[in-house]
């Protein structure tokens, strides 16, 4: 890259996913330039989320561009609001991510509109929680119109002093590790942003690549210190559960998030059926959003692993009619939206099957402590949702290997080559116990400067310390 005018030493401010797993958003400032790494929605208590997502901690008009890692809403979901408040620059992402956020952001606009204008009969008590949508379909259209697709492994000059490159992250379709090179006279500063890193050796998505050394590595830490089930263990657990459910004449429910989890679960159900691990059963998918995403996956098949035998599945469009129709169906598998069972179409299926001892539900996603999914995992006879308690006679199981996030072994393999030549490591997108575990692992690998930034903490992209506050120094 040709060296031009001198820039000030760059800084990064961590405005989201700092000691939490929500609202990824990090501000890079270098001389006259200001860039965002991601622009995600914060998820938390309703009123806190409403205020935090509505107000940016900077003037959106001053942002030159956004570098987007992938299409999950906690990474991209507040982009239309950024445009609504005056941002007018480009959003750089992979072509597949651009296709996916068109679907994801339109669905988010629909949900916000429905929540802001509830149907007739809504009580006055619930009306106090109504708020204006953060954005509408027009803002989504403006966002997509300003997305610039950049292919993987292709250096891209944002301007004469800034270059980016996307590398395969292996988390979901289109996800990318982002490399940012910033010129400062005769010095080139390097930032590596992991986004969300996927697992190795789970051949539906491509394997993530190793993270390059950098002056600053910003790394997710969702499953620091944890080890996922292997594919063989996952297959064994799923086969045992499916066979027991079939023997009882029941149905298997699988709550799954529409983007990422639904398709990888469907992929491996087909693999295991085709290999004879368990009987070939009818598969129903009850998620209109996942159906739209399926069309994007087909259009970007070159980004995924080779297709296996296409055991058919049936997409369910209409809710009540479909649920009632499946009641008379024999043993089958129903994948429905709502990975933590807090909302989505899985709730309707639970209402009809939670008290059926012949049936099973397998949880394939992280379950937040206060979620309905976490209730189901507790060894208690009932679960409470939709304003009442339900007998929990359905068999409940959990398989954790479907995660799209790197585990302890993946972090060691993907970061090991970056020890030499890396200045600082800052851990984001994780709870403190997981950050603590990953920091300990990274220190043992040889990384000397590993911290967890506080929200809104600013650091220099150098070997030096933070310039506003110290972050968490892990033991």
More confident residue, 123 or 313: 313
Strand partners, 184: 187
pLDDT (tens digit, 9 = 90+) per residue, 319-344? 666 666 677 789 999 999 999 998 88
What element of type H or E holds 116?
A: helix 95-116
- Homologous superfamily, domain 11-226+404-473: Ribonuclease Z/Hydroxyacylglutathione hydrolase-like (3.60.15.10)
pLDDT (tens digit, 9 = 90+) per residue, 67-111? 999 999 999 999 999 999 999 999 999 999 999 999 999 999 998
Tokens describing residue 462: 């150098």
pLDDT (tens digit, 9 = 90+) per residue, 219-258? 999 999 999 999 999 999 999 999 999 999 999 999 999 9
Percent above pLDDT 90 for the chain: 77
Tokens describing residue 75: 């990474």
Torsion angle, CA of 261/262/263/268, rounded to 10 degrees? 90
pLDDT (tens digit, 9 = 90+) per residue, 162-178? 999 999 999 999 999 99
> At what angle are helices 95-116 and 288-299 packed, to 10 degrees?
160
In order, the DSSP letters of 68-113 are: ----SHHHHTTHHHHHHTT--S-EEE-HHHHHHHHHHHHHHHHHHH
pLDDT value at 468 more than 50: no
Q: Which of 372, 187, 224, 206 is nearest to 302 (CA)?
A: 206
Query: Which residues of the chain are in CATH 3.40.50.10890 domains?
Result: 231-398
pLDDT value at 129 more than 70: no
Q: Kindly state the greatest CA–CA separation across the chain.
A: 72
DSSP letter, residue 134: S
Query: Which residues of the chain are in CATH 3.60.15.10 domains?
Result: 11-226+404-473
CA distances from 159 to 11, 15, 88 (A): 18, 24, 16
Torsion angle, CA of 133/137/141/144, rounded to 10 degrees? 60
**Other beta carbons less than 10 A from residue 283's beta carbon:** 21
Query: SS3 helix, strand, coil % of the chain, rounded to 5?
Result: 30, 20, 45
Are the C-beta atoms of residues 9 and 183 closer than 8 Å to each other?
no
pLDDT (tens digit, 9 = 90+) per residue, 33-79? 999 999 999 988 888 888 999 999 999 999 999 999 999 999 999 99
Q: Judge if pTM exceeds 0.95.
A: no
Average pLDDT for the chain: 90
Task: Give the integer Cα–Cα distance in Å for 342 and 344.
Answer: 7
pLDDT (tens digit, 9 = 90+) per residue, 340-394? 998 889 999 999 999 999 999 999 988 888 899 999 999 999 999 989 999 999 9
Q: Give me the CATH topology for the region 231-398.
A: Rossmann fold (3.40.50)
Kindly give, in sequence order, each residue whose CB lies less than 8 Å from that of residue 123, ignoring residues fewer than 6 positions away.
Answer: none
Q: Which of 80, 105, 64, 70 is nearest to 197 (CA)?
A: 70
Are the C-beta atoms of residues 54 and 134 closer than 8 Å to each other?
yes
């Amino acid at each position: 890259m040709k060296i031009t005018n001198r820039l000030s030493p760059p800084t990064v401010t961590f405005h989201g996913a700092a000691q939490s797993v929500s609202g990824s958003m990090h501000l890079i400032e270098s001389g006259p330039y200001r860039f965002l790494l991601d622009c995600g929605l914060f998820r938390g208590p309703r009123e806190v989320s409403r205020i935090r997502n509505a107000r940016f901690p900077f003037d959106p008009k001053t942002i030159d561009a956004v570098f987007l890692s992938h299409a999950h809403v906690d990474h991209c979901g507040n982009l239309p609001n950024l445009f609504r408040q005056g941002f007018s620059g480009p959003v750089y992402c992979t072509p597949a991510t651009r296709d996916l956020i068109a679907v994801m952001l339109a669905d988010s606009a629909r949900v916000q509109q429905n929540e802001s204008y509830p149907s007739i009969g809504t009580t006055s008590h619930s009306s106090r929680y109504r708020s204006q949508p953060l954005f509408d379909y027009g803002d989504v259209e403006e966002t997509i119109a300003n997305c610039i697709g950049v292919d993987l492994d292709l250096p891209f000059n944002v301007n004469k002093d800034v270059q980016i490159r996307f590398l395969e992250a292996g988390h979901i379709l289109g996800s990318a590790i982002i490399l940012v090179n910033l010129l400062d006279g005769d010095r080139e500063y390097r930032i590596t942003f992991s986004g969300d890193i996927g697992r190795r050796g789970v051949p539906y998505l491509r394997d993530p690549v190793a993270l390059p050394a950098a002056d600053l590595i910003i790394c997710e830490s969702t499953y620091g210190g944890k080890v996922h089930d292997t594919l063989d263990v996952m297959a064994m657990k799923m086969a045992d559960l499916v066979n027991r459910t079939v023997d009882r004449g029941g149905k298997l429910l699988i709550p799954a998030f529409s983007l990422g989890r639904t398709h990888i679960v469907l992929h491996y159900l087909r693999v295991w059926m085709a290999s004879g691990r368990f009987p070939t059963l009818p598969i129903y998918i009850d998620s209109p959003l996942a159906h739209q995403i399926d069309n994007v996956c087909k259009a970007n098949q070159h980004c995924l692993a080779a297709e296996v035998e296409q055991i058919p599945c049936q997409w369910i469009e209409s809710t009540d009619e479909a649920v009632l129709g499946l009641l008379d169906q024999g043993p089958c598998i129903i994948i429905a939206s709502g990975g933590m069972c807090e909302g989505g179409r899985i709730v309707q299926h639970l209402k009809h099957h939670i008290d059926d001892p012949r049936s099973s539900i397998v949880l394939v996603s992280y379950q937040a402590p206060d979620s309905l999914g976490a209730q189901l995992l507790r060894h208690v006879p009932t679960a409470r949702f939709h304003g009442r308690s339900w007998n929990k006679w359905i068999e409940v199981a959990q398989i954790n290997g479907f995660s799209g996030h790197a585990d302890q072994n993946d972090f060691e393999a993907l970061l090991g080559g970056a020890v030499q030549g890396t200045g600082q490591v800052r851990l984001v997108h994780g709870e403190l116990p997981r950050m603590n575990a990953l920091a300990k692992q990274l220190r043992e690998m040889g990384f000397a400067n590993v911290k967890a930034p506080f929200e809104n903490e600013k650091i220099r992209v150098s070997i030096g310390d933070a310039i506003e506050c110290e972050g968490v120094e892990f033991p």
